[in-house]
């Protein structure tokens, strides 16, 4: 995007996030970029002015921003490529159901839109102009998916209705790789597996406090931040823990519309020594009544005590980025969320599909991580009960047509009087025979069967064992 877009041609080492700021009086959304690991300034990307509200769902797939309701409750969708050549917003196919306040996620290369308020639910066929039942929550039947490759929407219902469906969806968590999605309400959740392309797991939970907000799924653990409280729930062990993020009192006083967005910087909360580091992006009003975006880095660890868990989190640093100094304008501003922008580099004159991107990444991984060399030699034993001798053959597979041209066959053999019950093992290139006896030994003496003989097959080409 010329002038104001994100320059990914040089592929910055730091991931970039896109931040949305809504102004409810003007019905506009402004989009900014910020480096996740090295936040220094907010860069303006674009503005969308279609009367969209503060609860309008939006998502990012690759470097394309999708706004999934151009006005309250409608199904219209608009998009812009922040790495594209123009600053113009384009029109996408409309959603199957218009909605407001829905949860969104980018998983498996597709956009998921779930829950929210829908103007299409409750319409009476006898009264086509009547919307008296509109704008009520129907979280379960309203899951739909947008495929950027086919440029189409399709329904993607949950595997079964969540218990207490009269409650709205309260949280969603996505793994940093974008392949697993967990969505749920105050008592149950479901998991979408991006590799298997289906909803896989259905479970109920009973934490001390219901899970809320948008967060991460790491180490089979849902990690969320709601106000100034960090929550974790291990879906297999069914272990719940929460704790206040010390040093984040300002966020605790904000309302739910300023729900922060959580990003993983590294580590694991189960690492008792190093812990995990996260970044929070949220908004607030300064003492001068100006609207600011805050970037807060904090450290967290989950400690196991004798009979309980404690989730500890402490703020390490915080930066603020003023949006507008005008108090009147700031009073109407709301934080619309922050999402990761993919840093995929495009080829000139070519639009890459997700399959091509995956193939390119796989090729790079294979070239970097070379397959370790595999031994091409085998040793096998043939026992002859007539002479009570075990003969060991050393075969180089690369010499017998397995991995190369057949130039040599079986290498010279080693012989040893062993008896039928003796055992043998290879360790590296050394062959060990346990319970054998030499040709000079009397096979009738049982004590001789306690001997261990060995030979290095790489150093010797024949002869006896020692």
pLDDT of residue 342: 73
For CA atoms 442, 444, 446, 449, the dihedral sign is: positive
What domains are there in the chain, each with its CATH number?
A: 16-368 (2.120.10.80), 377-456 (no CATH)
Cα gap 434→449, rounded to integer Å: 8
pLDDT of residue 304: 87
DSSP 151-205: TEEEE---SSPPSSTTSPP-EEEE-TTS-EEEEE-SSEEEEEETTTTEEEEEEE-
Cα gap 327→289, rounded to integer Å: 5
- 29 to each of 71, 94, 101, 332, how far by Cα in Å? 12, 19, 15, 12
Mean pLDDT (10-residue bins), the chain, 466 residues: 38 74 84 89 86 80 87 81 83 87 88 76 42 40 85 85 67 90 86 85 74 89 89 90 83 54 93 92 82 91 88 92 82 86 52 57 57 62 81 66 43 70 81 65 50 74 52
Residue 256 DSSP one-character state: G
pLDDT of residue 120: 47
Cα gap 85→349, rounded to integer Å: 11
Cα gap 83→33, rounded to integer Å: 12
- 331 to each of 22, 27, 285, 319, 465, how far by Cα in Å? 11, 14, 8, 21, 89
Written as six digits, the tokens of 382 are: 């043939």
Under a CB-based contact definition with an 8 Å cutoff, are residues 325 and 288 in contact? yes
pLDDT of residue 334: 84
- By DSSP bridging, strand 309-324 and strand 239-246 are parallel
Task: Summarize pLDDT for 301-344 with one digit per residue, the tens.
Answer: 999 888 888 999 999 999 989 888 888 777 888 888 899 987 54
Cα gap 16→279, rounded to integer Å: 12
Return left, alpha or beta for 148; rule: phi > 0 is left, psi -120 to 50 is alpha, else beta.
alpha
Residue 316, CB half-sphere, CA atoms under 13 Å: how many?
Answer: 12
Contacts of 270 (CB under 8 A, 6+ apart): 219, 302
pLDDT of residue 436: 58
The count of other CB atoms within 10 Å of the CB of residue 232 is: 26
Residue 18, CB half-sphere, CA atoms under 13 Å: how many?
Answer: 29
Cα gap 183→166, rounded to integer Å: 15
Cα gap 193→177, rounded to integer Å: 12
**Helix segments in 234-353, DSSP class H:** 249-252, 327-331
């Amino acid at each position: 995007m010329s002038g104001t877009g994100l320059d990914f041609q040089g592929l910055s080492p730091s991931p970039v996030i896109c931040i949305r700021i809504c102004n409810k009086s003007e019905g506009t959304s402004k989009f900014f970029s910020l480096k996740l690991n090295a936040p220094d300034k907010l860069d303006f990307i674009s503005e969308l002015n279609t009367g969209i509200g503060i609860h309008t769902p939006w998502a990012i797939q690759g470097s394309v921003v999708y706004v999934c309701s151009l006005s309250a409750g409608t199904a219209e969708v608009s998009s812009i490529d922040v790495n594209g050549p123009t600053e113009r917003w384009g029109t996408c196919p409309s959603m199957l159901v218009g909605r407001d306040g829905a949860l969104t996620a980018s998983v498996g290369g597709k956009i998921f839109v779930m829950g929210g308020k829908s103007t299409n639910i409750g319409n009476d066929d006898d009264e086509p102009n009547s919307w008296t039942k509109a704008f009520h929550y129907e979280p379960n039947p309203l899951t739909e998916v947008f495929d950027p490759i086919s440029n189409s929407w399709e329904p993607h219902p949950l595997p079964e209705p969540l218990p207490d469906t009269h409650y709205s969806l309260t949280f969603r968590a996505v793994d940093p790789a974008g392949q697993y999605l967990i969505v749920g309400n105050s008592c149950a959740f479901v998991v979408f597996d991006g590799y298997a392309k289906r909803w896989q797991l259905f479970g109920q939970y009973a934490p001390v406090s219901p899970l809320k907000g948008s967060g991460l799924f790491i180490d089979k653990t849902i990690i969320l931040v709601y106000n100034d409280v960090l929550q974790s729930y291990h879906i297999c062990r069914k272990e719940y823990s929460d704790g206040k993020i010390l040093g984040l009192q300002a966020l605790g006083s904000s309302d739910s519309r300023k729900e922060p967005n959580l990003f993983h910087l590294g580590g694991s909360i189960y690492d008792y020594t190093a812990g995990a580091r996260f970044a929070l992006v949220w908004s607030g009003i300064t003492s001068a009544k100006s609207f600011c975006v805050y970037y807060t880095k904090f450290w967290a660890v989950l400690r196991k005590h004798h009979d309980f868990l404690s989730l500890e989190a402490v703020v390490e640093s915080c930066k603020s980025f003023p949006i507008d100094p005008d108090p009147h304008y700031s009073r109407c501003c709301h934080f619309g969320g922050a999402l990761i922008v993919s840093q995929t580099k495009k080829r000139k004159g070519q639009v890459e599909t997700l399959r091509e991107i995956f193939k390119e990444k796989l090729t790079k991984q294979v070239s970097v991580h070379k397959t370790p060399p595999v031994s091409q030699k085998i040793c096998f034993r043939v026992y002859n009960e007539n002479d009570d001798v075990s003969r060991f053959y050393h075969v180089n597979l690369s010499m017998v047509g397995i991995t190369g041209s057949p130039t040599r066959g079986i290498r010279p053999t080693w012989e040893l009087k062993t008896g039928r019950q003796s055992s043998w093992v290879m360790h590296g290139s050394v062959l060990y025979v346990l319970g054998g006896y030499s040709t000079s030994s009397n096979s009738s003496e049982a004590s001789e069967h306690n001997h261990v003989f060995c030979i290095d097959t790489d150093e010797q080409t024949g002869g006896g064992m020692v």
